[in-house]
Amino acid sequence: MRGRNYRSTVGQPYTRQKYIHGSPAPKISKFNMGGPPSNFSRIVNLVSQERVQIRHNALESCRVAANKVLLDKYGDTGYRLTLTPYPHVILRENKMIATAGADRLQEGMRRSFGKPTGRAARVNHGQTILIAYVNSEGIDTAKQALEVGASKLPVRTRVIVEPIAAAAVPVEA
């Protein structure tokens, strides 16, 4: 199946791990990269402009692409990158065989609930997907990094730059 088949957010999400056996783990390896967020003066956000489901493969490739740009420019601690959505929704597929003699092996749409094949995150309009914490001189690089990451996503996005208020910095435990 292609990613575009799972892009729409129709119906209730299928998320209950307790009842789903064999659901795949999300492919996202890290949600936070870089240095501690208390050292920076600007936040650069990648914000969705549509309501959509984003597959975990796309979220991971977005994170890797944006992180590479920032890591090459600022090293390990010169930035902070955070991926905010978590892929809770489990995607199912009713696999069909398309070869000769397939009619004797499967039943078409009868009992077509499907097997778990992947994960997705539901993202609303205006929701932040990636957050980059940088200093004032790193705004252009952070914008570029988020635009490179946005090219991996199946949604229209925009980049928003904000100054960091003293109380807005998250504290890590």
Q: 26-49, pLDDT tens digit by residue?
A: 888 889 988 887 788 999 999 999
CATH of 33-94+109-165, one of 3.90.1170.10, 3.40.640.10, 3.40.50.300, 3.40.50.720: 3.90.1170.10
CB 154 within 8 A of CB 62: no
Q: Where are the domains of the chain?
A: 33-94+109-165
Report how far residue 164's alpha carbon sits from residue 5's, in angstroms, rounded to the nearest whole number: 38
- Band of the pLDDT at 102, cuts 50, 70, 90? low
CA–CA separation, 158 and 26 (whole Å) = 25
Judged by DSSP in three states, 49 sits in coil
- What is the distance between the alpha carbons of residues 104 and 100, in angstroms, rounded to a whole number? 10
Q: How confident is the model at residue 167 (pLDDT cuts 50, 70, 90)?
A: very low
Which pLDDT belongs to residue 6?
67
pLDDT at residue 103 in the model: 63
Structure tokens at 52: 């959509």
pLDDT: is 53 or 106 the higher one? 53
pLDDT of 69 strictly over 50: yes
